[in-house]
Amino acid sequence: MNISKSGQIIIKGISGSPGICIGKAYIVDREGVNITKRYPVSDAMVPKEIDRFKQAVSKAKNDHAKVIESLDKDLGENLNILETHMVLFKDKMLYGKTIETISNEKINAEWALRKVSRKVKSMFQQIDDIYLQARVIDIVQVSDKIMAYLVGAQDIKISDINKRVIIVAHDLSPADASQIQLERIKGFITDRGGKDSHTSIIAKSLRIPSVLGLGFATASVKNDDILIVDGSSGTLIVNPDEDTLFDYEARMAKFEEYRAGLERDSHLPAITKDGIFLNLMANIELVEEVVAVKDYGAIGIGLFRTEFLYLDLKRFPTEDELLCKYKEIVEFMSPQSVTIRTLDINGDKVNPYLTTIEEINPALGLRAVRFCLANEEIFITQLKAIFRVAAFGNIKLLIPMISCVEEIIQVKQIMNKAILELEHEDKIFNGDIPLGVMIEVPSAVMIAEHLADHVDFFSIGTNDMIQYSMAIDRSNSLVAHLYKALNPAILKMIKMTYDAAKKKGIDLVMCGEMAGDPMNIPVLVGMGLTDFSMNSASIPVVKRMIRDLDTKKARKSVEKIMSLNCVQEISDFILEEYKDILPFGEKGE
In terms of Cβ atoms closer than 10 Å to its own Cβ (0-12, 13-18, 19+), residue 31 is exposed
Q: Quick one: which of 225, 289, 464, 531 contacts ligand PEP (CB under 6 A)?
A: 464
Q: What is the smallest separation between the CB atom of 367 and ligand PEP, expressed in angstroms?
A: 9
Q: What is the smallest separation between the CB atom of 437 and ligand PEP, expressed in angstroms?
A: 12
Q: Which is nearer to ligand PEP, 317 or 461 (CB)?
A: 461
SS3 of 422, please?
Answer: helix
Give me the amino acid identity at 272: T
Q: What is the smallest separation between the CB atom of 462 and ligand PEP, expressed in angstroms?
A: 5
49 binds Mg ion (CB under 5 A): no
Q: What is the smallest separation between the CB atom of 440 and ligand PEP, expressed in angstroms?
A: 5
Q: How many residues in total does the chain contain?
A: 589
512 binds, among ligand PEP, Mg ion, none (CB under 5 to 8 A by kind): ligand PEP
Q: Which is nearer to ligand PEP, 138 or 440 (CB)?
A: 440
CA distance 129 to 276: 55
473 binds Mg ion (CB under 5 A): no
Q: Which is nearer to ligand PEP, 138 or 196 (CB)?
A: 196
Q: Is the CB of residue 114 less than 8 Å from the CB of residue 53?
A: no
**Listed residue (484, 492, 497) closest to 444, CA to CA:** 497
- Catalytic-role residue among 21, 85, 372, 511: 511
Q: What distance lies between CA 386 and its chain's CA centroid?
A: 20
Q: Are strands 531-535 and 2-3 parallel, antiparallel or unpaired?
A: unpaired
Q: What is the smallest separation between the CB atom of 451 and ligand PEP, expressed in angstroms?
A: 16
Helices vs. strands in the chain: H and E counts, helices first: 23, 17
The backbone torsions φ and ψ at residue 282, rounded to the nearest 5 degrees and listed phi first, read: -120, 150
Q: Which is nearer to ligand PEP, 147 or 480 (CB)?
A: 480
CA distance 198 to 461: 13
Name the DSSP class of 283. Answer: E
Q: What is the smallest separation between the CB atom of 326 and ligand PEP, expressed in angstroms?
A: 17
**Residue-wise over 467-489: b if at least 16 C-beta within 10 A, else e?**
bbbbebbbbbbebbeebbbbbbe
Q: Which is nearer to Mg ion, 137 or 438 (CB)?
A: 438
Q: Quick one: which of 209, 231, 393, 461 contacts Mg ion (CB under 5 A)?
A: 461
**422: which residues sit within 8 A by CB, 6+ positions away?**
384, 387, 388, 429, 431
**235: which residues sit within 8 A by CB, 6+ positions away?**
10, 11, 12, 13, 211, 228
CA distance 17 to 476: 16
Q: Which is nearer to Mg ion, 121 or 198 (CB)?
A: 198
Q: Quickly list H helices, 265-395.
A: 290-295, 307-311, 319-333, 369-374, 376-389
Segment contacting ligand PEP by CB under 6 A, of 30-38, 79-87, 459-467, 479-487: 459-467
Q: Which is nearer to ligand PEP, 137 or 509 (CB)?
A: 509
- For residue 7, the number of C-alpha atoms closer than 13 Å in the C-beta half-sphere is 7
Segment contacting Mg ion by CB under 5 A, of 186-194, 268-276, 432-440, 539-547: 432-440
Q: Which is nearer to ligand PEP, 98 or 462 (CB)?
A: 462
- Catalytic-role residue among 64, 85, 170, 198: 198
> Which positions from 326 through 345 interact with ligand PEP, judged by CB under 6 A?
344
464 binds Mg ion (CB under 5 A): yes
Segment contacting ligand PEP by CB under 6 A, of 36-44, 152-160, 161-169, 456-464: 456-464
Peptide bond into 335 cis (omega under 30): yes
Q: Which is nearer to Mg ion, 9 or 398 (CB)?
A: 398
Cα diameter, the chain: 84
Q: What is the smallest separation between the CB atom of 482 and ligand PEP, expressed in angstroms?
A: 17
440 binds ligand PEP (CB under 6 A): yes
191 binds ligand PEP (CB under 6 A): no
Q: Quick one: which of 85, 195, 204, 305 contacts ligand PEP (CB under 6 A)?
A: 305
Q: Quick one: which of 511, 537, 549, 561 contacts ligand PEP (CB under 6 A)?
A: 511
Q: What is the dihedral of CA 4, 5, 7, 9, to 10 degrees?
A: 0
Q: Which is nearer to ligand PEP, 178 or 463 (CB)?
A: 463
Instruction: Fill in the per-residue mask, 340 to 369: x = in contact with ligand PEP (CB under 6 A), - = not in contact.
Output: ----x-------------------------
321 binds ligand PEP (CB under 6 A): no
> Which sign, positive or negative, has the C-alpha torsion 319, 323, 325, 329?
positive
Q: What is the smallest separation between the CB atom of 342 and ligand PEP, expressed in angstroms?
A: 12
**Residue-wise over 401-425: b if at least 16 C-beta within 10 A, else e?**
bbbeeebbebbeeebeebbebbeee
Q: Quick one: which of 306, 463, 469, 557 contacts ligand PEP (CB under 6 A)?
A: 463
Q: What is the smallest separation between the CB atom of 501 and ligand PEP, expressed in angstroms?
A: 16
Q: Is 481 tagged catalytic? A: no
440 binds Mg ion (CB under 5 A): yes
Q: Is the CB of residue 483 less than 8 Å from the CB of residue 14?
A: no
Q: What is the smallest separation between the CB atom of 512 and ligand PEP, expressed in angstroms?
A: 3
138 binds Mg ion (CB under 5 A): no
In terms of Cβ atoms closer than 10 Å to its own Cβ (0-12, 13-18, 19+), residue 587 is middle
586 binds, among ligand PEP, Mg ion, none (CB under 5 to 8 A by kind): none
Q: Is 198 tagged catalytic? A: yes
The residue ranges that bind ligand PEP (CB under 6 A) are 303, 305, 344, 440, 461-464, 511-512
Positions marked catalytic? 198, 511
The residue ranges that bind Mg ion (CB under 5 A) are 440, 461, 464
